Structure 1
Amino acid sequence: MPIRVIIELTETERETLDDIIKKGHDWRERDRAMTIKLLSQGLTVSEVAKQQGYHEETIRRRRRLWKKKGFCSLPDQPRSGAPNKLTDEERQLLKTWVEQEALTSRALLSRLEERGAADICDKTLHNELKRMGFIWKRTRYSLKKNAIPKGSNKPDRTLSN
C-alpha cells in the first residue's frame, strides 16, 4: 500500500497555484505547480508521476523542495554556464550604437574591438542584441524585380472562323 503524504495548503496558496497553472508564463513552473496541487488533493507520488509522465523521484524531489522553499521552488533556478563575454558597460555601448544608427554586425564588432572589448563572434553579438530586445535581420541587396517580364510558355491561341 503506497504511503500518502498530503501537502496541506491554505486557501490563498491553492488560489495562487491555480493562477500559476492557468496563467503562468513558464511551462515548467506550471507543471511544478500542478504537481503540488495534485499532491495536495491526496494523490500518491506514483499516481502523480503516472499522470504527469515523470519518474517518481522527480515528484518526491518537488515535494521536498515545496516543503523547504514553498513558492520559491516553482521557478527554474539559475544554471551554470560560460561567463558573459561582454560587460554591462559594453552592452550599454552596443545598445546606444544600435539605437543611434543601423549598423552591420561587422561595424559593431569593429567598434567593440576599438574600445578594447572582448573578442566575440558574430553569433554572440546577435544573441546579445536579441537579449536586449532588438530584432536582427539580414539586409536585402535588392528589392527590384526584373525590368523585363518573362514571356509565357503557352502558345498563342488564334480564333479561326
Structure 2
Amino acid sequence: MKTAAKPRVRQRSHAILLSFDGFSIDQIADILGVGRDAISRWLDSWEQSGFEGLNDQPRPGGPCKLTPE
C-alpha cells in the first residue's frame, strides 16, 4: 500500500524542519515560494497543535455543482 503525505502538509512539514534547522521566516518563505505570513501561521499552528496543526482546516461552502453544458 502506497501512502504519501498531502502536498500541503508536506510543504508545511518542510517549513517546520527548516525552522528547526535555524532558517529565518524570510529564508523559509523564499525557499518554499510562499509568503512570510503563511510561514508564520504554519509555525504558530505547529506550536499550538503539533502534527494536527499542519492539516488543512475545513472550509465553508458546499461542493461545486457543474451544469450539463
Q: TM-score range by the shorter chain?
A: 0.7 to 0.9
Letter in 1 for 2:48: K
How far does residue 55 in structure 1 lie from its aligned partner after superposition? 1.0
Considering only aligned residues, what root-mean-square deviation do their CA atoms show, in Å? 1.9
How far does residue 36 in structure 1 lie from its aligned partner after superposition? 0.4
Letter in 2 for 1:61: R
Q: Which runs of 5+ in 2 are unaligned?
A: none
Find out whether 1:40 has 2:40 as its counterpart. no
What TM-score, normalized by structure 2, do the two folds share?
Answer: 0.80
Separation in 1, partners of 2:57, 2:13: 15
Separation in 2, partners of 1:58, 1:75: 14
Separation in 1, partners of 2:11, 2:54: 9
Q: Quote the residue 1:56 is aligned against.
A: 36
The correspondence of residues 10-159 of structure 1 with structure 2, limited to 5 A, is 23-24=4-5, 26-82=6-62, 123=66
How far does residue 57 in structure 1 lie from its aligned partner after superposition? 1.2
Q: Which runs of 5+ in 1 are unaligned?
A: 1-22, 85-120, 125-161
How far does residue 34 in structure 1 lie from its aligned partner after superposition? 0.4
Higher relative helix content: 2
Identity level (%) = 32
Letter in 2 for 1:59: I
Q: Give the length in aligned residue pairs.
A: 63
- Higher-Rg structure is 1
How far does residue 50 in structure 1 lie from its aligned partner after superposition? 0.7
Q: Which has the higher contact order (CA 8 A, sep 6+)?
A: 2
What TM-score, normalized by structure 1, do the two folds share?
Answer: 0.36
Separation in 1, partners of 2:11, 2:59: 19
Q: Deviations over 1:51-93 (max 9, x none)?
A: 11111111111111110011001111111003x7xxxxxxxxx
